[in-house]
Amino acid sequence: MDKHPIPESLLAKLTPLEQLSDAERAYLLKFCRMDTIPPGKRLPAKNAASWFSFVIDGRMDLIRDGAVVDHIDMNSDSSRALEPVFATKDGEGVEFALATTPVKLLSVRRKAVLQLLDKGYEIEEEALFEGENEMLVELYESIQSNQLNLPTMPDVAVRIRMLSENPDVGINEIAKVAQTDPYLAGRLIQAANSAAYRGSQTIGTVREAITRLGLKRSTTLALGIAMKTAFVSKSPAISNSLQKNWEISVEVSALAHVIAKHTGKIDSERALLAGLVHRIGAIPILGYAEQSGWDETRTKQAMLRFSAMLGTLLLKNWSFDKEIIHAVEICGQWGRNSDENVDLGDVIIAARVYANIRSPEPEDFPDIDRVPAFGRLGLGTLESDRTLLILEEAADEIAGIREFLS
């Protein structure tokens, strides 16, 4: 292997590396190698199983059944020169590539590239400011090396979530699973007997509680209780920050629930759940910040820029559905104005802005008239009757959610 530095700008031109951000390509440099191939030497197609290889200088012919079926020449104007030597993992039947001149060959570990492409989130290159490149690479490396301890969802919550996605599953099946966790069972019964749901008789069993609450709300509450356990730490240094993030999550979830009910376009229970998990990415960032000795400024910057990204990763690991994952991924894209129909992401964006307006310590969020989600949802300005009604209703919803999640 040649000991020559590989410029990041070179990676930005190559397929599929051009789909990655600057920070992601910087991270890939540790998985790159540069080799000099003499004329007449063969590169077998099986190389593609482990590497994306690119001709950086020189020419290679692709051979199949003894004939040249294609060629790659970095000095030509062809876009083929920017693609891997073997465009697919099996080389599409090509047996080998033959160097016809001295060739500089750049190879990048296939597994590392695919891991980045499959994360399901993007960091806009123009959105990375000074110092953020370094932070993102640091977080990536800690994830890849398992130094960053990602929280796990309790087994009972996983089972309930999976059951809830099966249309043939009913109250009895959910109740059987909930009963295996005494704490969860108790909280569901408590919620069913709360002021928001109390009927003429006191509920005493999990099945009765789920019947009164409804299957969707029971599932959401169960997952919410699981989410709360993730926002707990034995470390005094981050415990307060985690609690603050959880309280914001509860506020946003309640607002999202009310917004979804008013618009009638999004399932309100899914909106509540998306609100509860939209800050889940804060957990690994706060843990890593403490472990690495980051100061408050650096930690806040990482939270602001990368919380949604890591939240997306966590929810994918927990096998949440694409709609909720997408909503968390875009929940900080204030200027988003999609040509598609109103979606869950719009609801969470609007709920975050409303929650920030109500906060005693508001963050630097844009004004409502600069957030297209409000227009898409038909919510109007801050002073509109509809907005005031939503904020009023949300106060009761927040009190109810806090009652069973506190």
Per-residue pLDDT of the chain in tens (406 residues, 90 and over written 9): 555 567 777 888 898 998 887 767 877 887 888 899 999 999 998 888 888 999 999 999 999 888 999 889 877 767 788 899 987 544 467 889 999 999 999 999 888 888 777 654 444 443 444 556 677 777 777 766 666 667 777 778 878 888 877 888 888 888 888 888 888 888 888 888 877 776 678 888 999 988 998 888 888 888 888 778 888 887 887 888 998 999 999 889 988 988 998 888 899 889 999 999 999 999 888 888 888 888 888 888 888 888 888 888 888 878 788 899 999 999 999 988 877 789 999 999 999 998 998 888 888 898 888 899 988 888 877 677 777 777 777 777 777 776 766 5
128 φ, ψ to 5°? -90, 120
Reported pTM: 0.66
Q: Beta-carbon neighbour count of residue 368 at 10 Å?
A: 20
**Chain centroid to CA 379: how far?**
27
Q: Which of 274, 257, 240 is nearest to 354 (CA)?
A: 257
> Which of 181, 379, 353 lies closest to 263 in space, CA to CA?
379
According to DSSP, residue 2 is labeled: B
Rounded Cα–Cα distance for residues 6 and 307 (Å):
30
Which domains occur in the chain, in start order? 8-118 (2.60.120.10), 231-405 (1.10.3210.10)
